[in-house]
Amino acid sequence: MSTVLGRNNYGKSGVRLVKVTRRPDRHDICDLTVDVALEGDFAAAHTAGDNTGLLATDTMRNTVYALAQGHDDVGDIERFGIRLVEHLLAAGPTVTRAQVRLAAHPWSRLTSGGAADPHAFQRGNGGDRVATVTGDASGVSIEAGIDGLVVLKTTGSGWEGYHRDDYTSLPETDDRIMATELTARWTYGDPASEIGFTASWEAVRAVVLETFGDHYSPSVQFTLHRMGDAVLEARPEVERISFSLPNRHHLLFDLSRFGLENDHEIFQATEEPYGLIEGTVERAPAPGSAADNGVVSASARSGA
């Protein structure tokens, strides 16, 4: 029997970085989790036990901390990711592709005497900022996103007119609680341009939040498309955006067996099972372009 080594990678995951920027009047905090993955010509290590061309994963961890020192853009995680990727591509003698995933965990300032405390924080909410930066000889690509953004509206949502069969038991409604833990990922049309990544991320998040609540939603699918459409209209630097929207069901509880009425006041929140709605909204190809003529690039097919 003969075998060949297939695609492989290695790296360091779960690198926890906290950076405190000490300013004269206040401290700023940046809290990240960083994952590094490298690809390249690592066959000798697998087949012959020869580690000559490999960076130690411990070195990758140290690189994260060392490249955070002396730079004020660590919280601009896409910029920090670019710096890490470019360094790792140059540092690894047999590395041909580097990918860095970053998640920024939010903190908000405490207040003291009605003013923001310059040195004290509480864990923030509203979702984690995430980014994936990938680089090889052809350049660097960037995917930004949001994780764990929990949103809910108590009315303005329904589920009616759907297909029914012998196993359908769910009643139709034009008034229900709509809740989800939103995950979003988007790509930029020109990552090499001078994009203000932090401002762009904050603007995309603001559009998503505003759009979630600004309409009557006949389905989660409708809201997904409306949010994506709004982002692309408001932010020209975004090429496409994908959402994953698990339905956090809130079921109207039947109190009639106790002789009580329940006019959309008492709900049972459930975690499993749950509906999962996912989709991508992207800019239509320009008339006459390759994509418009039915030619789709490999990166487009894979969603890169």
pLDDT of 292 > 70? The answer is: no
Q: Rounded mean pLDDT of 283-288?
A: 82
Among 3.40.50.2300, 2.60.120.260, 3.40.605.10, 3.10.270.10, what is the CATH number of 10-136?
3.10.270.10
DSSP per residue, 79-115 = HHHHHHHHHHHHH-TTEEEEEEEEEEPPEEEEEETTE
Portions of the chain given CATH number 3.10.270.10? 10-136, 138-304
Which two tokens mark 299?
């990166």
pLDDT of 114 > 60? The answer is: yes
pLDDT at 237: 94
Residue 57 is a catalytic residue: yes
pLDDT at 73: 82
Q: Rounded mean pLDDT of 66-91?
A: 93
Catalytic residue among 57, 94, 211, 280: 57
pLDDT of 80 > 50? The answer is: yes
Topology adopted by domain 138-304: Urate Oxidase (3.10.270)
- Per-residue pLDDT of 40-74, as tens digits, reads 999 999 999 999 989 999 999 999 999 999 888 89
pLDDT at 300: 32
CA–CA dist 130, 143 (Å, integer): 8
CB 165 within 8 A of CB 213: no
Catalytic residue among 180, 183, 223, 249: 249
3-state secondary structure (DSSP) of residue 29: strand
Q: Enumerate helices (H) and strands (E) in the chain, giving the number of each.
A: 6, 12
pLDDT of 301 > 50? The answer is: no
pLDDT at 191: 64
- Per-residue pLDDT of 217-246, as tens digits, reads 999 999 999 999 999 999 999 999 999 999
CA–CA dist 89, 94 (Å, integer): 9
CA angle (159, 165, 171) in 5-degree steps: 35
235 φ/ψ sector (left φ>0, alpha ψ -120 to 50, else beta): beta
Residue 12 is a catalytic residue: yes
CB 279 within 8 A of CB 223: no
pLDDT of 296 > 60? The answer is: no
